[in-house]
Structure 1
Amino acid sequence: MKKIKAALLSYGMSGKVFHAPYMELHPGFELLGSWERSSKNIQSDYPNTISYPSLEAILEDKSIDLVVVNTPTASHFEYAKKVLLAGKHALVEKAFTSTLAEAKELDALAKEKGLKLFVFQNRRWDSDFKTVKKVLSDNLLGDIVEAEIHYDRYTPDLSPKIHKETANPGSGILRDLGPHIIDQALVLFGMPKAIFADVRFTRENTLVEDYFDILLYYPEFRVRLKAGYFIREALPSFIFHGKKGSFLKSRGDVQEDELKLGKKPNFTTWGTEPKTKEGILHTELNGSIFRDTIPTLQGNYYDYFDEVHQSLINNTIEPVTAQDGVNVMQIIEAAILSNQQKSAINL
């Protein structure tokens, strides 16, 4: 199997948890190293890697095929543009960029250079979302009337990560948690016709927005997206009501927590939710009313990296395209405008 040689632009939580373990597991990747600024940690975890002293050192390394741009959001555009101009493929963390204009420019540049530009939307490969997607694709609820997707937390204190709490074009909950559930809604339903949003500052002394309630208008139904930091008793994260029935599912994917504990992904038991997290399906099946929990599908972010590899080797479509990233940024900018104008925005 041909190996894709890759480097990370950061070996903090994102690099250590979401990228390096899968590049180690996948036989089609070789992780060469990471740009590390102050702490030098990657070689202790992966002895055969390099701790690059600068971005330029990575860009000048002709052996590198793919660069993972996993730095704070405000830097994504600058770094991804430099990667593409250096003739290397780029995989960019969410939020794809800080602005819609930046997202469109990167998409155009990648096409001009004949390079692959991937967006990292790992939540498509969460166990909970994969299960929701199957319930809808199997038409178990009938025509959808309304849906809600939540990403709720109880974290009233400000983050110790300075870049998350500094007012800049890449900070705030819309670009942190927002891309996860906006992307999930677009995967399920496509682009809406219009959007209305309420965006707020709820934590004491916060400089960045930390709550949003977004309503997506589709011709026959509505989808609500919500996230906030004062949800001690969370509702189900996925609430879907159709003309035949309903499906309620909590956010139960275990991958991030297990990766943070240092566990390594595998091909067998990885991404298996506990049965207590199974979703409730209440609908009509074959003329009878059915109400019970249903098994949750396994999640595995490995599948994302496998599709990245296939895309680079066989020139197949990216698992999450730059256009997907553009669409998410369009929703985010429309939400900001809607909140400012206190009105619905047509897309």
Structure 2
Amino acid sequence: MNRPIHVALIGYGFAGRVFHAPIIQNVPGLRLVTVASSKPEKVKSDWPDLWVSESIEEVINHSELDLVVIATPNATHFDLARRALQAGKHVVVDKPFTILASEARALASLAAERGKVLSVYQNRRWDGDFLTLRKLVLQGVLGEVVYLESHFDRYRPEVQNRWRDQAGPGSGLWYDLGPHLADQALELFGMPQAVYADIAQQRYQAQAPDYFHVLLRYPRLRVVLHASALVPGGSPRFVVHGTEASFASRGLDGQEALLKQGLRPGQEGWSPALSEGWLYRPDQAAEPVPMEPGDYRRFYEGVRDAIRQEGPNPVPPEQAVRLMEVLEAAIESANEHREIPLGVNG
């Protein structure tokens, strides 16, 4: 493919506006051609040169488009991805991939049958703090990791009038932040033996889960995934203990904050703040850890290369399926108040 890959973005809410459009437009070899949105004036104010359509069907079936990116409410992901694959398009789906693991497996099969790239936007694999942690683990700096605590806490006491906070399939914090935290754990350690989850509504007038505390059990390792909307003072992002050292980090990758401000990668002023990290060794003072720079463009660079058959899919369907199996098992665990085995790792 000599020309740029022509991209259609479906959905221009928070995810489409902040995490997809500005990243796509700043990856060489990709060209955002159109956005399908029910609010075309909003798109035009940000991207006056784009073709904007209110018809998803028109966009999915357009012959000049190569890649369809789905950034719509979670409950619509399966149907839209299925329709785009059937129309012969490569597809990126914002997390969570689907609502059910069975839907994830069906899409993976369809993509393989049609010979199309299907990927899931797990952008927080390219957060600087996670890249730093991954480097420490792979280099063996911590020894054997026996405990990891991954927090994504916020203070949002008021329930917003948006679909993520309303009752319904795919809403709530576990489907919002859970895919990030669980995906990072699976990237580092693979599938756990079992999952135990506590998922709750804690805010006044909450209609969807706004708290989760999930334990992933491995043979020796224990991974805790935690998020809450009622944490005024914040908490460490990562706390990791190994047989030789511990690592802790605080603060979030600065890319999201700049994207919310309307800045785009490579523009003047694009300098994301780095998290702070420390390494703790026995009987030694804490050492500051140089943090890796994050870069969400690397996901779409990987998608570009996969479409061109020049590199691997950055988040292949089989990884997306296993993540959905963990997310689904956690919901089953919370509903039944018991540990759910996953039948792996012995």
- TM more than 0.5: yes
Distance 1:270 1:244, change over 3 A: farther
1-structure distance, mates of 2:253, 2:220 = 30
Which segments of 5 or more consecutive residues in structure 1 lack a partner in the other structure?
Answer: none
Kindly tell me the number of residue pairs found equivalent between the two proteins.
Answer: 341
**1:184 CA displacement:** 0.5
Letter in 1 for 2:286: R
Determine the structure 2 residue equivalent to 1:198: 198
User: Over the residues paired in the alignment, what is the CA RMSD in angstroms?
Assistant: 1.7
CA deviation digits over 1:30-64, x for unaligned, max 9? 11110121342323332321011201110221000
Determine the structure 2 residue equivalent to 1:212: 212
Determine the structure 1 residue equivalent to 2:281: 283
Show the 5 A alignment for 1:6-155: 6-155=7-156
Contact 2:255–2:273 (CA under 8 A) maintained in structure 1: no
Contact 2:4–2:31 (CA under 8 A) maintained in structure 1: yes
Letter in 2 for 1:281: L
Distance 1:252 1:98, change over 3 A: same
**1:257 CA displacement:** 0.6
**1:216 CA displacement:** 0.6
Determine the structure 2 residue equivalent to 1:343: 338
1-structure distance, mates of 2:67, 2:309 = 15
**1:188 CA displacement:** 0.7
2-structure distance, mates of 1:198, 1:28 = 43
Distance 1:289 1:242, change over 3 A: same
1-structure distance, mates of 2:7, 2:318 = 23
Determine the structure 1 residue equivalent to 2:241: 241
Q: Identify which of 284, 288, 313 aligns with 1:293.
A: 288
2-structure distance, mates of 1:138, 1:290 = 21
Determine the structure 2 residue equivalent to 1:167: 167
Contact 2:258–2:272 (CA under 8 A) maintained in structure 1: no
**1:252 CA displacement:** 2.5
2-structure distance, mates of 1:43, 1:339 = 43
1-structure distance, mates of 2:158, 2:202 = 11
**1:12 CA displacement:** 2.1
CA deviation digits over 1:192-217, x for unaligned, max 9? 01111111111111121111111111
Greater than 2 Å deviation, 4+ residue runs? 38-48, 267-274, 288-291
**1:267 CA displacement:** 8.9
Contact 2:141–2:244 (CA under 8 A) maintained in structure 1: yes
**1:137 CA displacement:** 1.2
CA deviation digits over 1:305-346, x for unaligned, max 9? 111110111253210111221111111111111112211111
